Amino acid sequence: MPDWENFAPEFIKVLQQVYQGLPRPIGYVEVADLRDRVCFELRLPDYLFDDFLKRTVQSGQKDELPLEFTWIVRWRKEHPF
């Protein structure tokens, strides 16, 4: 089972790729669709996706992520856990 410290770069990379590839007919991506595809790509259980997404958002709020991941922070403000 991956731990956040070692797996974060791969998780964030795949999260970004999947997010960019999902259609947004009404302007946003359903988290369930994002979860399904990221979990499939990385072979993660849902509960780890949820934990890693939360950690990604928290890292973004602390300015610990590169600029290209700021969409995650905007999403978090609109969709609290």
Letter string b/e over residues 26-64, b meaning 16 or more CB atoms within 10 A of that residue's CB: eeebeeeebbebbbeebebeeebbeebbeebbebbeeee
For 37-61, write each residue's pLDDT tens digit. 999 999 999 999 999 998 888 887 7
pLDDT for 62 equals 74
The total number of structural domains that make up the chain:
1
| Percent share of the chain, pLDDT over 90 | 30
Q: What is the pTM of this model?
A: 0.76
Q: Which of 5-19, 34-48, 61-75 has the highest mean pLDDT?
A: 34-48
**Domain span at 48:** 4-78
CA nearest neighbour of 8 among 61, 46, 65: 65
